[in-house]
Structure 1
Amino acid sequence: MLTFDRRTMVSLSCLLPLGGCATLARPSGGTVQLRRIAVEAPFAMPPVTAPDFGACPLFSITDHGASQQDQRRTQAALAAAIAAASRAGGGTVIVPPGTWPTGPVHLLSNVNLHLADGAVLLFSDDPADYLPAVQTSWEGIECFNYSPLVYAFEAENVGVTGTGTLQARLDRWSEWYDRPPAHMQALVELYTMARTGVPVDQRQMAVGQNHLRPHFIQFNRCRNVLLEGIRIEGSPFWTVHPLLCRDVTIRGISIRAHGHNNDGVDPEMSENVLIEDCIFDQGDDAISVKSGRDMDAWRLAAPCRNVVVRNCTIRNGHQLMAIGSELSAGIENVLVDNCHFTGDGKGADGWAVPINNLLYVKTNERRGGFVRNIHMRRVSATTIQGSVLGVETDVLYQWRTLLPTYERRLTPIEELHVSDVTVQQAGHVVRILAKAEQPVRDVRLTRVEVAQVAGEPAILQNVNGYAAAAA
């Protein structure tokens, strides 16, 4: 029989139905209910469907043999509890207070992984623990690679909730931050496999010195995803990555990940995504909306659309909101609302990265795709090195010298709307660098105030339809 102390029971209160939502008429997955979250946006944003595990039975990992002194036993217990919850048609797997060492956690349909208050899942940094390889991706190209630390593939009604912590050991992964020749050659090989149509299951990258780090959390081809309340500490690579998902709710989480490529949330080729009430303390972009790289994205043809980010705080990060650069399947209907960059450029512990832009659209001549109907409103920031709005169409990073342009496809960018923004200091108010053959179209800034501008306020290269208004 399951028994919990008061602290655990308080933590379980977040399993109650989501506020402000209407229950769907039909249940899903036995005891899992579905709720529709209405989201206001300046585009036709459908309600986001989220799973509600409030009526689900509980499965404690301690009942399945978890041990705070034994990683293998804890990992096996997590897998057993998840399997039992899924077989039951729906269930919540409880991680009680304490530090629990583990390897990768693979979620199944109709399962919620719930971390009680005071619970820490401490993930190994031994790459061998993350084999066999699973179907995942690397910077917009599909492949088989080391398993993400928390992973779900083709799952429905899946969640990670609670007030506990997911923490990544980083000693080994941080050794992989460097990009030696073997790693760069692996990137060339992966790109070449995608370009020549090699099946994804033959793109085996978790070998040799390739050193492609895993994501922390990846939901791959999932539907009705809930990530709520938890704290995430450290990450080998991108932190939260919904890939080819539909109906994703990320609310009230806190991320502190200061490593290389440590984006906060990267919705990629996903639809109907709500990110709200979160705190980001990142070594890279806070949020970056993506839709795949070049040939692989053209093959999958799954635009990323209907993404709303609201009521979030950014303490560190290169961009508040990045669009791209992996955007070859197209991105449309994105709203950033009531979000605030509060960092002072020093960080609470003496560590910080400079925030470059509040809204930054980046692409290059290889991407194709499209960007349209992007909105940012009611945003504030302290000091940013770049611009309130930045657009660059020649961002290639290391790929500029790694590979030639095999197929040239420019990216149409249009309908960028920024309003009610206040910034203490910025390099520019707006900086758009586009190509003459593919101008950026229909850009509007309304009530954007920067107290101190270090450079030229507006740099506009090849922009058709630009307007800036005080009201």
Structure 2
Amino acid sequence: MRSFNKIMLLVALAASPFVSQAQKGSKVQFTKVTVKAPFAMPAIKVPDLSRCPKFEVTGLGTAERDKTRNSKAIADAITRANAAGGGVVVIPPGEWPTVKVHFKSNVELHLSKGATLLFSDDPQDYLPAVHTTWEGMECYNYSPLIYAYKCDNVAITGEGQLKAKMDVWKVWFARPRPHMLSLKRLYQMAEKYVPVEQRQMVNDTAHLRPQFIQFNRCNNVLIEGVSIQNSPFWTIHPYLCTNVVIRKLKVYAHGHNNDGVDPEMSQNVLIENCEFDQGDDAVAIKSGRNPEGWRLKTPSKNIVIRNCLVKNGHQLIAIGSELSGGIENVLAENCTVQDGAKLGHLLFIKTNERMGGYVKNINMVNISSGKIDLGVLGIETDVLYQWRDLVPTTIKKLTPISDVHLRNITAKEAQFMSRIQGQKELPVKNVTLNNVSVGKITDKKTISENVTGLSVSQ
């Protein structure tokens, strides 16, 4: 058994019947998900690899020293599945240490029930640097733990678990001066439109933590069924993607910046039947920071979040603060915030005088919550966090915010129902709260600055 545990992860070889099927030209199938929304929501194309060959992986060793060999064997399986025209890489039951996993097109990573991929927390395991992002700015940084770049038809499925070791990453949660200076340098490079290839952010002091899962510039993405525990940074980050379905996930991540899902400059996105227990926002919709959003000119749009449970988080839905490419056509419906959860808002829209972009047609329907620390709806237009003192405003671009609609919302207790702090030069427009009920309000029902067209009705 000991010698068995030392065997690297094996992939089916040419004699395997799976590969012989692949040689016949197996192809990915597709289904389409139709979503009813108060805007024109295109049907979402979802990859179905159930008829593609399976590449079983066996012989994984549980010793930590096997992480690199395990990762290489998974990479070999992904390569074979891709070469077959489509395939499912199957991880068997057990806890398998690994380093980064990089996708190729037409590949499904399937975690069997009882399987755990345990990702290393050694930053060196996520080199060489890849084309990725940090808080809305593109750069070359440590690879996300699971990474797909310019891939089509990719999926993560199963009843298993993805888990990140955190001993190093949790030390990196701190933001000492060297880290802040690196952020400043990246911001200034983005502002000057320095080519992304020159924005190399891996050094001894930047400590820009990688996302757990990033699908970058991908089409037709499915993540279904798995549990995710811990994350160095944002947990799931669809970036510049089209057709994304995220369903039936259980996400637990209580570190710094541990949002659950961050769709950024992505379109046609469905997030449903998920459970979020977060150290930050459950779902945070973004579209690039300042010049990055202006350069890429890709709004986040057509995004539906439904039938989700939030156990903890900063907000149920956050819009921004990185929104320079624009955000429109969002629906959150039939979601529940567990009683006793630590939560700031149900819907929080945040921007500042540097972002530009726009926010419009944001809808929240049929939401129930226990006590909220702040309020049902918050809109703030002067949210700068560390950037207020780190770099000055050099280009002022305000964010038009309009058409925000909440209906059939209940909360047991909050400081306020809504607090809208618009800008005098560009007021927030057309906000409706219809049948929004808070059992106990500890401050004021509505707080409004620079708003036109606010309607509150029962």
Q: Same fold (TM over 0.5)?
A: yes
* Distance of 1:420 and 1:367 partners within structure 2: 31
8 Å CA contact retained: 1:374, 1:416 = yes
* Deviation at residue 436 of structure 1 after TM alignment: 1.0
Q: Which one of 136, 139, 151 corresponds to residue 143 of structure 1?
A: 139
Q: Which one of 160, 177, 191 corresponds to residue 181 of structure 1?
A: 177
For residue 95 of structure 1, what is the aligned residue in structure 2? Answer: 91
* Distance of 1:265 and 1:71 partners within structure 2: 27
1:82 match: secondary structure: helix
For residue 401 of structure 2, what is the aligned residue in structure 1? Answer: 413
* Distance of 2:226 and 2:170 partners within structure 1: 23
Matched, 1:359 2:347: yes
* Distance of 2:351 and 2:407 partners within structure 1: 23
* Distance of 2:26 and 2:239 partners within structure 1: 26
* Distance of 2:247 and 2:346 partners within structure 1: 21
1:74 match: secondary structure: helix
Matched, 1:68 2:62: yes
8 Å CA contact retained: 2:335, 2:368 = yes
**How many pairs are equivalent?**
432
1:302-324: per-residue Cα shift (whole Å, max 9, x none)? 00000000000000000000000
For residue 328 of structure 1, what is the aligned residue in structure 2? Answer: 324
For residue 376 of structure 2, what is the aligned residue in structure 1? Answer: 388
* Deviation at residue 343 of structure 1 after TM alignment: 4.0
1:20-419 mapped onto 2 (5 Å cutoff): 30-62=26-58, 66-69=60-63, 70-345=66-341, 354-419=342-407
Q: What letter is aligned with 2:61?
A: S
For residue 436 of structure 1, what is the aligned residue in structure 2? Answer: 424
8 Å CA contact retained: 1:66, 1:75 = no
* Distance of 1:195 and 1:293 partners within structure 2: 10
8 Å CA contact retained: 2:26, 2:53 = no
* Distance of 1:207 and 1:82 partners within structure 2: 30
8 Å CA contact retained: 1:114, 1:161 = yes
* Deviation at residue 31 of structure 1 after TM alignment: 2.1
1:78-107: per-residue Cα shift (whole Å, max 9, x none)? 000000000000000000000000000001
8 Å CA contact retained: 1:422, 1:449 = yes
* Distance of 1:377 and 1:98 partners within structure 2: 41
1:307-342: per-residue Cα shift (whole Å, max 9, x none)? 000000000000000000000000000000000100
* Deviation at residue 53 of structure 1 after TM alignment: 1.0
* Unpaired segments ≥5 residues, structure 2: 1-24
2:168 match: secondary structure: helix
1:171 match: secondary structure: coil
* Deviation at residue 73 of structure 1 after TM alignment: 1.6
For residue 452 of structure 2, what is the aligned residue in structure 1? Answer: 464
* Distance of 1:60 and 1:181 partners within structure 2: 47
* Distance of 1:177 and 1:390 partners within structure 2: 27
* Distance of 2:150 and 2:327 partners within structure 1: 22
* Distance of 2:62 and 2:70 partners within structure 1: 7
TM value normalised by structure 1: 0.91
* Deviation at residue 469 of structure 1 after TM alignment: 1.0
2:204 match: secondary structure: coil
* Distance of 2:112 and 2:26 partners within structure 1: 24
Runs of 4+ in 1 over 2 A off after TM superposition: 65-69
Root mean square deviation of aligned Cα = 0.8
8 Å CA contact retained: 1:67, 1:73 = no
* Deviation at residue 66 of structure 1 after TM alignment: 3.6
Q: Which one of 433, 443, 447 corresponds to residue 435 of structure 2?
A: 447
* Distance of 1:272 and 1:247 partners within structure 2: 5
* Distance of 2:131 and 2:316 partners within structure 1: 29
* Distance of 2:56 and 2:212 partners within structure 1: 23
Which has the higher mean CA deviation after the structures are superposed, 187-196 or 69-78?
69-78
2:169 match: secondary structure: helix
Q: What letter is aligned with 1:121?
A: L
8 Å CA contact retained: 1:68, 1:74 = no
Q: What letter is aligned with 1:305?
A: K
Q: What letter is aligned with 1:267?
A: P
* Distance of 1:343 and 1:192 partners within structure 2: 43
1:237-272: per-residue Cα shift (whole Å, max 9, x none)? 000000000000000011000000000000000000
1:61 match: secondary structure: strand
* Distance of 2:135 and 2:411 partners within structure 1: 31
8 Å CA contact retained: 1:322, 1:361 = yes
* Distance of 2:61 and 2:219 partners within structure 1: 32
8 Å CA contact retained: 2:26, 2:51 = no
* Distance of 1:457 and 1:166 partners within structure 2: 42
